[in-house]
Structure 1
């Protein structure tokens, strides 16, 4: 009988990743320029952290919880670091991104696990690809008119769509789920644009 692996290491890795991304985001915002600045100034890269946290988990419930925990730690790490660097966080932004973490973290934690297990095949990949594509189109092209950044995020979406399905041959599933995932991503970006 195969020995079961301890969930402690993947759990700690997911939590450490969330905190590290939050801290690094604060520092990198001061040194990066466009289009690279978008990697530390957008929602989809933070959702990628939840995706990775979920992909490290063997159970769906754990993937959801750790996806949320990782994104909450990103918020905490970012705003604590910003305060220590002399930037006022402001309650409104902390509250907004906390709500986004509570909503998006479990979804993208589950998406990461769906990618890992290919159950259902392609769904997790479609959600991540749609996050980048919808942010490119709505936030960076339509709302801000930053065409180079929109193009950069679309390239990331294409690279993810081309490479992630290699794991367990999920291309067919990606094609099936991409339309609904993009519709959800566009709706999410429109709502975020109204409140952010």
Structure 2
């Protein structure tokens, strides 16, 4: 008579966790610094991408996809990239440009990063190893944040070329990252719907921020 013993997942070595955290932070620092450098260098239709939180969260999504398993590790990796991006962006502004000004906007983006990091880190892990609706939701969530910016540029700022650029990316991401035609189409539709929800959350957050400024 034989018995089968279930094996628990082998814990991740602390050194590997530390290395992953360092890489995520360095990646975030690079994203933040590069987006600051690109301001004024990119041509008109692409200028908005150098000053956008949507571009930053791609780093959190990528970090979560590298981790591959939803949970605290993917969330932490997502947070690390976003904190790194804030530090990289405003650090470059402070030491290379004319200064970052007061702490209002760095604080704003840091708070958003602490919220967005776990969301997009998890979304990346879902896309990489998730099943059923999770695998579909990952790219939809990433596309939605670009769709949110598209709606913001369209209805609030009236920058129509920027709205088109963001909108195209928002729809393209789930189409490109989906594994089947069904996933691509449903993911694109969900990205559009989530974009309107995200816009409402963003406007509420901006309103709350303005009340403290």
The normalised TM-score by structure 1 is 0.86
Larger radius of gyration: 2
Partner Cα separation in structure 2 for residue 15 and residue 24 of structure 1 = 14
SS of the residue aligned with 2:99? Answer: coil
Determine if contact 1:118/1:168 at 8 Å carries over to the other structure: no
Q: CA deviation at 1:159?
A: 1.6
Determine if contact 2:147/2:192 at 8 Å carries over to the other structure: no
Partner Cα separation in structure 1 for residue 40 and residue 30 of structure 2 = 16
Counterpart pick for 1:132 among 146, 156, 164? 146
Q: Which has the higher contact order (CA 8 A, sep 6+)?
A: 1
Q: CA deviation at 1:86?
A: 3.2
The normalised TM-score by structure 2 is 0.79
Q: CA deviation at 1:157?
A: 1.3
Determine if contact 2:75/2:118 at 8 Å carries over to the other structure: yes
After superposition, the C-alpha distances for 1:19-67 in whole angstroms (9 at most, x for unaligned) are 1101111111131232211111112111111111111103321110110
Determine if contact 1:135/1:189 at 8 Å carries over to the other structure: no
Determine if contact 1:122/1:175 at 8 Å carries over to the other structure: no
For these two proteins, the number of residue pairs brought into alignment is: 193
Determine if contact 2:68/2:74 at 8 Å carries over to the other structure: yes
Partner of 2:184: 171
More displaced stretch, 29-38 vs 76-85: 29-38
Counterpart pick for 2:171 among 140, 155, 158? 158
SS of the residue aligned with 2:158? Answer: coil
Distance 1:123 1:29, change over 3 A: same
Partner Cα separation in structure 2 for residue 180 and residue 157 of structure 1 = 11
Partner of 1:17: 27
Partner Cα separation in structure 1 for residue 160 and residue 24 of structure 2 = 33
1:190 paired with 2:203, answer yes
List gaps (5 residues or longer) in structure 2. Answer: 1-9
Determine if contact 1:123/1:174 at 8 Å carries over to the other structure: yes
Runs of 4+ in 1 over 4 A off after TM superposition: 3-12
Partner of 1:69: 80
List gaps (5 residues or longer) in structure 1. Answer: none
